[in-house]
Structure 1
Amino acid sequence: MMLPETAALPPHRHPWYAHLYVQVLIAIALGVAVGHLYPQAGAALKPLGDGFIKLVKMIIAPVIFLTIVTGIAGMRDLARVGRVAAKAFGYFLFFSTLALIVGLIVANVMRPGAGLNIDPATLDAGAVSGYAAKAHETSLVGFLLSVIPDTLVSALTDGNILQVLFVAILFGIALTLIGDRGARVVSVLEDISIAVFKLVSILMKAAPVGAFGAMAFTIATYGVGTLANLAGLVATFYLTSLLFVLVVLGLVGWLCGFSIFKLIAYLKAELLLVLGTSSSEAALPALIEKMERAGAPKSIVGLVVPAGYSFNLDGTNIYMTLAALFIAQATNIDLTLGQQLLLLGVAMLSSKGAAGVTGAGFVTLAATLSIVPTVPVAGMALILGVDRFMSECRSLTNFVGNAVATLVVARWEGMLDKEQLAAALAGKLPPVEDLPTGEVAP
């Protein structure tokens, strides 16, 4: 869809308090205050956060399905679809592996678990038994089979992102192969997508309420004081993730002609939403819309973003190797270079096996440790209390990583509108709510 001329739109400046990112930021601050000062009331606000995330998950499947189907069918070139998918997965594999290596190096240099001298026999294995059991259920073969839904329709009702992706790709290819009849269906789906994205913008108005409830519950339940016990690990993880985003992804962005700082500023509302809800899924529909507005074509956005949510988990991968070595150091277990490389290899596989699982970071860590018996799975009890705080950082890093991946793949394909990207990152595009009726984000 062509970008409306900005000059043709009447100037419309919203007051500062009307911007979503300001409202979410205020909601997060209030949530922290309520959770800390009134923990009982804060814990009772959990349904607000849960309810908002359920609202967003309700709309994720239709958004992904419509975006992918209309994008692939509109492309009318199956060879290009395959090429885009190959480039995206090549990118995912390289940077996911790099994130694992970065976590491994930082853990060896900073040694956040050294000196704790924990006796593995004293750890409460029961505290993490549920995660370990779920990890055993998510083998690589089981994961591959789970991508295939029971029925064509159940892919849209079960909420499994990969199943939606699988069905949407097949349906988009089918529409491409039937020619003009398929074009008529695509036209109808494009009209439906306008209504669906308008629904997304309506649901996003509840984001501050969801962020408030989720943050109040987190602080009330786990307490800010919990961070003090394992401050070294939490600080190391946040710093490592920040450096990965600013240095590694920043370099990638610079090579592709955009600034990582401007991209973060462009996505500030979505990042604050991820921070407040501790879920990157909460901002998935908005990320798809924002990437299209930034000049990436719908066909590429529809493939890269949903696939990246399962396969391009930079923050989760950093966490896995860093946390695994932290447990080893805390329990005075010295891992040889060979054992660490084995840990790295297993983590590469297990991170794909548990893709799409709720609490994937903790589950993938359990899967990795259960296969590498040198480090006790019971050691996960050491970080259980602060995992919620690290989950927010994982989600933020994963989110930024997928935004960068989308722009990079679009650039590789020569389909990135550089002028529109520059306008978006400079804040010169009209707000979505100011677009004429019937328009979707360009």
Structure 2
Amino acid sequence: MAKRLTLYIFIGLALGLLVGWAINAAMADGTAATQERLATIAGHFSVVSTLFLRLIKMIIAPLVFATLVSGIIHMADTSALGRIGGRALAWFIGASFISLLLGLVLVNIFKPGVGLELDLPTATGSTSLATADFSIAKFVTHLVPTSMFDAMANNEILQIVVLSLFVGVGITSLGSGGQRLAGLVEEMVAVMLKITEYVMRVAPIAVFAAVAAAVIERGVGIVVTFGYFIGVFYLGLALLWVVLLSAAWILLRANPIVLLRNIREPILLAFSTASSEAAFPRTLEALDRGGVPRRISSFVLPLGYSFNLDGSMMYMAFAIMFIAQAYGVEMDLWQQFTVLLILMVTSKGVAGVPRASLVVVAATLSFVNLPEAGLLLILAIDHFLDMGRTATNVVGNAVACTAVARWEGVLGVEEEPEPAALALEIETTPVSKV
């Protein structure tokens, strides 16, 4: 089933490119009226992909909550939570630093913003992006939900993680009294995975619609205009993949070919829809096939969605330096290192913000006295860049989960059921009798 779905997604991607190019080529004449008609047609196609993403958003919160609570219950030793969380955060920080550093090195070597033959937006121009005032205090207070229903309704992944930690630890502390609740959580996991299977059956159609809409409205000409910048950026992503997979091979003894084969479907899904949420359920299942215990992946993967956005980190470094080069602003090593440190902090916990990478870049530009209007240069191609960085985020999180599982000594190990789980099975057996 997984192989067929991957094939169908690839076919949907190819057909989307073909149909989008055909419609754009047949209608585009450079006039504003035609561009509006193209945007309207693209909007019709986007209805399908929007519905698919809404279906994904519908299952993300209960899926994250159920799998994470289930993983905590089966962890038995709740002190392991701190150890696993610490190891995950250590990997996230290291991967984020490498992503930013590699992006800064490449953009300084290839200088994609130098000699750009485009009319630069005026420094006072507006991008219409709501730039949040990032601060440590706001980030910390935002971790705790004001209501469990509010966190679920808004798909606030970090808040759902915090809520799940309390619920999981609470159920575990009840001992035998929490066995029925534990059973309900297990059943909820099974139900959400079954719903995920149903939703994924329409993924190829959604991929077709999403890609077609992007190409219809923007055309392939914009890719040619910014070809050098896009090429350098994707070269950087490719090198980042090599670094991450090499680390998995050298440090973790994890076969990178097998890892890529296991996660090929969520990678393709993330690339074609430019949505990390769309890839979450399939990434979870792919990690199961890769030997990562569910109690590890269900805890580390949601954290990675806020703390381990490797592709997005590289994009932010590229975007800021590209804008600086386009406006002829020289940034010394200390200024670039300052940008790196700022991005390390401000990029955390914004996964639920629409166009989060652009918002973080816009907020960071003011720190280094660069015009926010510079973002207008890359807004037209942001969707094509978002496809690559989203797929890279999936790879980075899969490697992170594999790393933590290896450090815990449970990668590829069939774990014995915990005593609590055995007791649960014995306890609930009479209930199932008619």
* TM-score relative to the length of structure 2: 0.88
Gaps of 5+ in 2: 25-37, 416-434
Give the corresponding residue for 1:210. Answer: 206
The residue type equivalent to 1:34 in the other structure is: V
Identify which of 373, 386, 394 aligns with 1:399.
394
Matching residue of 1:58: 58
Q: What CA distance in whole angstroms lies between the structure 2 residues aligned with 1:208 and 1:309?
A: 23
Give the C-alpha shift of residue 338 in structure 1.
1.2
1:161 aligns with 2:157: yes
The 3-state SS of whatever aligns with 1:257 is coil
Q: Which residue of 2 aligns with 1:287?
A: 283
Distance in 2 between residues matched to 1:338 and 1:187, nearest whole Å? 55
Cα contact 2:53–2:278 (8 A) shared by 1: yes
Name the stretch that deviates more: 410-419 or 282-291: 410-419
Equivalent in 327, 347, 354 of residue 351 of structure 1: 347
Q: In 1, Cα distance between the equivalents of 2:249 and 2:51?
A: 35
- In structure 1, which of residues 271, 276, 291 is the aligned counterpart of residue 272 of structure 2? 276
Aligned positions, number: 400
Are residues 1:412 and 2:368 paired?
no
Moved more, 405-414 or 338-347: 338-347
Structure-2 residue corresponding to 1:100: 100
Matched to 2:393, the amino acid is N
Aligned equivalents of 2:382 and 2:93: distance in 1? 25
> Is 1:173 equivalent to 2:200 in the alignment?
no
The change in CA–CA distance for 1:272 and 1:117 in structure 2 (over 3 A counts) is closer
Contact between 2:115 and 2:326, CA under 8 Å: does it hold in 1?
A: yes
- Find the aligned partners of 1:359 and 1:385 in 2 and give their Cα distance: 13
* Superposed displacement of residue 117, structure 1: 7.1
CA contact (8 A) 1:139 1:353 kept: no
Query: Which residue number corresponds to residue 440 of structure 1?
Result: none
Mapped partners of 1:170, 1:135: distance in 2? 32
What secondary structure, in the 3-state scheme, does the structure 2 residue paired with 1:44 have? helix
Range that drifts further, 331-340 or 114-123: 114-123
The aligned amino acid for 1:216 is A
Residue of structure 1 in register with 2:419 after alignment: none
Which letter maps to 2:86? A
Kindly indicate whether the alpha-carbon contact (under 8 Å) linking 1:31 and 1:42 is maintained by their aligned counterparts in 2: no
Structure 2 CA distance, aligned partners of 1:57 and 1:253?
Answer: 33
| Residue aligning to 1:22 | 7
The residue type equivalent to 1:211 in the other structure is V
- 1:331-370 matches, cutoff 5 A: 331-352=327-348, 354-370=350-366
Q: Which moved more, 1:134-143 or 1:348-357?
A: 134-143
Inter-partner Cα distance in structure 2 for 1:323 and 1:351: 14
- For 1:111, the aligned partner's letter is K
Pairwise CA distance, 1:331:
1.0
What residue is the counterpart of 2:82 in the other structure? 82
Distance 1:281 1:401 in 2: 15
Asked if structure 2 preserves the Cα contact closer than 8 Å seen for 1:103 and 1:322, the reply is yes
- Residue 180 (structure 2) pairs with residue 184 (structure 1): yes
User: Please, which moves more after superposition, 354-363 or 308-317?
Assistant: 354-363
CA drift of 1:418 comes to 5.5
Q: Given residue 98 of structure 2, which amino acid in structure 1 is its aligned partner?
A: L
State the distance in 2 between where 1:263 and 1:313 align.
Answer: 18
Answer whether contact 1:34 1:42 (CA < 8 A) is retained.
Answer: no
